[in-house]
Amino acid sequence: MSALRWIRPLLLTGAVAGALVAVGAQSAISSAAQPPARAASSCNISGREESLGPTYVTYIGVSGGASCKQAEKLVRAFYKCRVKHGGVAGHCSGVEGFHCSEDRYATIAVQYDSHVLCTRGHERIRHDYTQFT
């Protein structure tokens, strides 16, 4: 009877350890089957804030596989589209295959600030700018 008293805890510990290994293996298999997540990152635009189209581009961020080079090209194209559709206060719904939405804020008579989000599939490009009118 004393041997049974020692074996039961060992069997229980072994069963729990085996279950944990199985859960860990399943987790590893399911994470391997999914594509790696790509975190959002901000692009370094230092020194180019005034050369991307709008008066000042204050932020560019990318996620979902979009690149900073691609984002800068999109910012320039978005600005050209806006100017084509109403001047510096114009609007643009999309460029370069991306659908874009814009949120203008801090609007005064001579300028406005804006957040722009452009999406294409999983790719996301966000930029903020200040435009003098």
| Integer Cα distance of 115 and 47 in angstroms | 20
Residue 96 token pair: 């370069």
CB 73 within 8 A of CB 87: no
Residue-wise pLDDT tens digits, 88-125: 999 999 999 999 999 999 999 999 999 999 999 999 99
pLDDT digits (tens, 9 = 90+) for 6-35: 444 444 444 444 443 444 444 444 444 544
| Tokens of residue 128, six digits | 């903020």
Which residues, at least 6 apart from 10, have a Cβ–Cβ distance to it below 8 Å?
none
Structure tokens at 116: 């722009």
Instruction: Judge if pTM exceeds 0.75.
Output: no
